[in-house]
Structure 1
Amino acid sequence: MVTILFINFLGLLSPGPDFMYVSRKSLNEGKYHGMAAAFGIGLGIFFWSGASILTLSLLNSTNNLVQYIIMCLGGAYLSYSGLTIIKHTAKNTAIEHGISDFNQSNDNILRQVFKGLLINLSNAKVIVFFASVLSGFIADIFSWTDMLLISLLLGLETFVYFSIIAFFFSRNSVRNFYVKNKTCVDYISGLIFLYFGCGLIYTGISTLVTLS
């Protein structure tokens, strides 16, 4: 179990849509909204890891078309999120120096949790990652209790990691840097979302065409 958690931690260290979302949310709206997004992402990891354990034998033995359809849908959502960020940034090119405008989101905490969950669920590559990681340990998972415990620990580890990210990116020094470079940072964030989304769509469609 320690090995599984360590491998998941290494995966968390690679910046992706989850990292970009939490860091940007914390920069714009403060640590509490960032931590709410982190909790939603942790719930997503709990779901994906549990789904991976339950369907691992099927994923290892067959080419599951549903997996790649989900990948395309997830890629579409990530692409939409990226385009939304870029569009929003283009409409707000005036940068106001200072941090007084932060924490003015109209979204409540539960909505932030839901958005974080949706961002994570849209990245269908997570289930491929967990299927690969857990495939070597599936023989040691004997009961529903083991499955639940592993999924909970993976979700908790993810929440703690991104909460630390939210805390760091909500610091005034980081915020001040962001305010001075807001347009550039937001465009990069949007492009990264778009890149990951298009990559998922391409992988999903190309695999479906190959299997058909």
Structure 2
Amino acid sequence: MIPIETIAMFIVASAALSLSPGPDNIFVLTQSAMKGRKAGIFVTLGLCTGLMFHTAMVSLGIAAIFQTSELAFNTLKIIGALYLLYLAWQAFRSSAANFETVNDDLLDWKALYLRGIIMNITNPKVAIFFLAFLPQFADPSVGSITLQMILFGCLFIITTLVIFSSVAWSAGFLGEWLKSSEKSQSIINKMAGTVFVGLAIKLAVTSR
């Protein structure tokens, strides 16, 4: 059995990492501000589903491929960068009117959920991060390493879900204010587009 002290330390570390500025929480923030709290929650669920994918990869040892294969790493990061540029294009072309008419009935929850998944699994840095982070807390003397990796991955996902949902809820207040001002709506669309371009460039130039 994994010591409770180790689990507590892992949760604290996971919370600190989830709170630090990064592509995923910035993505949740911008989507929540543009489309409302529930949109941010569905994006968060998608991101956490992506983390399940990375947890499985690490548990099975597949993530090591991205650490050792430059071709695999570069291919995945290019796909991720292109997707971010696509999101930037969508944000730049969105008008104030489009922003204003968004409501719970019109939002495509499946699309938002899928967007979160794609955003997460096309970032090879997440796979490598999991490969480096999770094993630090595993101890062969307390049982199966694979099962420990799965447990730590689940704990990380739960922690991320709580924190990112809080970010989405808080950003929703910004979205409510934006609905009352067309100029503000235009500004947030341009800001979101700029953020996506910046994240795409950062991902494109990142190295293993």
Structure 2 CA distance for aligned equivalents of residues 166 and 66 of structure 1: 32
Other-structure match for 2:15: 9
Structure 1 CA distance for aligned equivalents of residues 187 and 175 of structure 2: 15
Aligned partner letter, 1:72: I
Structure 2 CA distance for aligned equivalents of residues 174 and 26 of structure 1: 7
Structure 1 window deviating more from structure 2 (55-64 vs 154-163): it is 55-64
Other-structure match for 2:24: 18
Aligned partner letter, 1:38: T
Question: Match for 2:85 among 79, 92, 96?
Answer: 79
Q: Provide closer, same or farther for how the CA distance between residues 75 and 103 of structure 1 changes in structure 2, counting only shifts above 3 A.
A: same
Other-structure match for 1:210: none
What value does the CA root-mean-square deviation take over the aligned residues? 3.1
Question: Secondary structure at 1:136's aligned position in 2?
Answer: helix
Structure 2 CA distance for aligned equivalents of residues 33 and 95 of structure 1: 15
Structure 2 CA distance for aligned equivalents of residues 117 and 60 of structure 1: 18
Count matched residues.
Answer: 198
Aligned partner letter, 1:74: G
Other-structure match for 1:137: 137
Structure 1 CA distance for aligned equivalents of residues 62 and 169 of structure 2: 35
Question: Match for 2:172 among 170, 173, 191?
Answer: 170
TM-score (norm 2): 0.77
Work out whether residues 36 and 176 of structure 2, in 8 Å CA contact, stay in contact via their aligned partners in 1: no
Work out whether residues 59 and 146 of structure 2, in 8 Å CA contact, stay in contact via their aligned partners in 1: no
Question: Match for 1:66 among 72, 96, 100?
Answer: 72
Other-structure match for 2:119: 119
C-alpha displacement at 1:111, in angstroms? 2.8
Structure 2 CA distance for aligned equivalents of residues 27 and 61 of structure 1: 35
Work out whether residues 40 and 117 of structure 1, in 8 Å CA contact, stay in contact via their aligned partners in 2: yes
Work out whether residues 93 and 183 of structure 1, in 8 Å CA contact, stay in contact via their aligned partners in 2: yes
Aligned partner letter, 1:108: D
Q: Provide closer, same or farther for how the CA distance between residues 58 and 138 of structure 1 changes in structure 2, counting only shifts above 3 A.
A: farther
Structure 1 window deviating more from structure 2 (133-142 vs 26-35): it is 133-142
TM-score (norm 1): 0.76
Structure 1 CA distance for aligned equivalents of residues 91 and 151 of structure 2: 36
What runs of 5+ residues in structure 2 fail to find an aligned partner?
1-6
Task: Tell me if 1:203 matches 2:206.
Answer: yes
Structure 2 CA distance for aligned equivalents of residues 189 and 28 of structure 1: 8
C-alpha displacement at 1:138, in angstroms? 4.6
Structure 1 window deviating more from structure 2 (179-188 vs 154-163): it is 179-188
Other-structure match for 1:54: 60
Question: Secondary structure at 1:149's aligned position in 2?
Answer: helix
Deviation by residue 1:101-130 (Cα, 9 ceiling, x = unmatched): 441563433332112212222322212222
Question: Match for 1:29 among 8, 32, 35?
Answer: 35
Deviation by residue 1:168-193 (Cα, 9 ceiling, x = unmatched): 1223x662157542222222221121
Question: Match for 1:189 among 184, 188, 192?
Answer: 192
Work out whether residues 18 and 119 of structure 1, in 8 Å CA contact, stay in contact via their aligned partners in 2: yes
Other-structure match for 1:155: 157
Work out whether residues 47 and 151 of structure 1, in 8 Å CA contact, stay in contact via their aligned partners in 2: no
Other-structure match for 2:110: 110
